[in-house]
Amino acid sequence: MSEIITVNGPIKPEELGFTITHEHIFIDLTRQGPGRNRVLDDFELAYTELMYYKNAGGISLIDQTTGGLRGGIAEGALRDLRTNKHALEIREISRQTGLNIILGAGWYREPFYPPHLNRNSTNQIADDLINDIKIGIDGTDVKAGILGEIGSDTTWISPVEERVFRAVARAQLHTGLTIATHTGGLNVGIDQLDILEQEGVDLNRVIIGHAHSYNNHEYHLEIIKRGAYVQFDRLGTTNKFEHDTWIKLIFQIIDKGHIGHLLFSQDVCLRSDYVGYGGNGYAHILTKLKYELLDIGMTEDQFKQITVDNPRRALIGDK
């Protein structure tokens, strides 16, 4: 693809710059359990948190808040997160912060699905996704720039989730957008790749999200061998033991010569992830992780490849 679609329109690939590839700005995760920690709905607070990232040198962000996560009672969600439609709020915060924001289309995972996904055919679901990309999300003129996050709830893919994955694949073939997935453990990412490949998707256009949820080097190598990207996207949000394990796995991938298939993000999705609530926020990779990685052997060029070059390649399909 010759351009990248943001909520404010297309940009040239070289304008993307430093990019975190899996984040959330306004999100409702209360289907996982009650409590304010699982809801991000405060515009001023989101602006403040995003500006930490902007002021640290961040340029772009991929918001993978898909259907089931972005609120909207009409979509089957528990609440409306904001007065305006989700896509319009994301456009406005992009304008106010000056960040390039790429917004995802799709559906999260089965516990978050509205009833109509169980009634609609695969092609009907695909047509709705194509509409989100070609015309605009949820009746707005804000166009999606990626398909994702598209998830499987557990360590296997349910029948309705398979139908969604096949619909996403068909939408990808029609539009050329990259697909980003959600995985919940073990090697379910391989099952996701199998379905997408059966539908004819070039796996170079696929990002396997939360790949760190299965701390297995051979699993990561299999994803890479198939052509897809391995995304470590809860960086800065876990305990020291797990963090150190992820860093070891990242360097193992680099040592095998596969740095071109790595992506980094933080997956901010809880209030406790915010700087203002004691977390590391959207800027952690730039302000903390970068220097940790440089101290233990990563070069500046390698860091740039993972955080600037690889996101651009993943979005435009450049091998």
With vertex at residue 88, the alpha carbon angle to CA 18 and CA 207, rounded to the nearest 5 degrees, is 40
Query: Can you tell me whether residue 207 is helix, strand or coil?
Result: strand
C-alpha to C-alpha distance for 15 and 298, rounded to whole angstroms: 25
pLDDT over 70, % of the chain: 98
pLDDT digits (tens, 9 = 90+) for 205-262: 999 999 999 999 999 999 999 999 999 999 998 888 899 999 999 999 999 999 999 9
The phi and psi torsions of 107 (rounded to 5 degrees) equal -130, 145
* Model pLDDT, residue 80: 76
C-alpha to C-alpha distance for 262 and 13, rounded to whole angstroms: 18
C-alpha to C-alpha distance for 271 and 143, rounded to whole angstroms: 27
* Model pLDDT, residue 34: 84
Cβ 42 vs Cβ 275: under 8 Å: no
C-alpha to C-alpha distance for 288 and 304, rounded to whole angstroms: 15
* Model pLDDT, residue 192: 98
* Model pLDDT, residue 76: 63
C-alpha to C-alpha distance for 70 and 25, rounded to whole angstroms: 9
Could you state, in chain order, the average pLDDT of each consecutive group of 10 residues for the chain (319 residues)? 95 98 96 90 98 99 96 70 88 99 97 92 98 96 98 94 98 99 94 99 98 95 98 92 95 98 98 97 98 98 99 93
Cβ 90 vs Cβ 47: under 8 Å: no
C-alpha to C-alpha distance for 220 and 100, rounded to whole angstroms: 29
C-alpha to C-alpha distance for 90 and 97, rounded to whole angstroms: 11
The crossing angle, in degrees rounded to 10, of helices 217-226 and 240-255 is 40
* Model pLDDT, residue 239: 86
pLDDT over 90, % of the chain: 88
Domains and CATH numbers, the chain: 4-316 (3.20.20.140)
